[in-house]
Amino acid sequence: MKIGLYPGSFDPVTFGHLDVIERSRKMVDKLIVGVLQNRQKTPLFSMEERVRMISEHTKKWDNVEVHSFTGLTVDYAKKVQANIIVRGLRAVTDFEFELQLAQTNKVIAEEVDTIFLATSLKYSYLSSSTVKEIASFHGDISAFVPKDVEEAMKKKFDEQERRRGI
């Protein structure tokens, strides 16, 4: 059985992420979307909120599961018996970092391969950070995220403004 793991912080999940999920799920028997806590980032959404949002948009695919995890991605891949780690590449600038990570993971877990999926051209510029920046200034993010995610982001930023008295 081919099991893939698509890890990421998904804060928030974007149409680009959903595109990679949809395409990669066709390459494996089971795809696990692994929502992780990135210590280098302060998330807008809790781990539970991110898992719930992704689950809502992937429930139509019976071979996709969404789980949260902490620690090294490669250790989690071994834990869930994933043979493949899926990584999306938006631009050449992503490649160097992702290649270094894939090579390191291969040393740690020889049985786990990494595949790179080039993002669809229409999402190649898209990042969660950019979406959060636009949303924080009440910009239109409807082309980047599903409607429920857009509404959840608006609510989060409105709450933050109320707390700061803006």
Candidates 41, 59, 122, 155; catalytic one:
41
Helices (H) and strands (E) in the chain, counts: 6, 5
Candidates 30, 90, 106, 156; catalytic one:
90
Query: Between the CA of residue 76 and those of 3, 32, 43, 148, what are the distances in Å?
Result: 12, 11, 21, 29
- Indicate if 136 belongs to the active site: no
Candidates 17, 25, 50, 57; catalytic one:
17
- Indicate if 90 belongs to the active site: yes
User: Rounded to 5 degrees, what are φ and ψ at 62?
Assistant: -75, -10
- Indicate if 162 belongs to the active site: no
- Indicate if 17 belongs to the active site: yes
CA proximity to 63, closest of 118, 149, 12, 2:
2
Catalytic residues: 17, 41, 90, 128
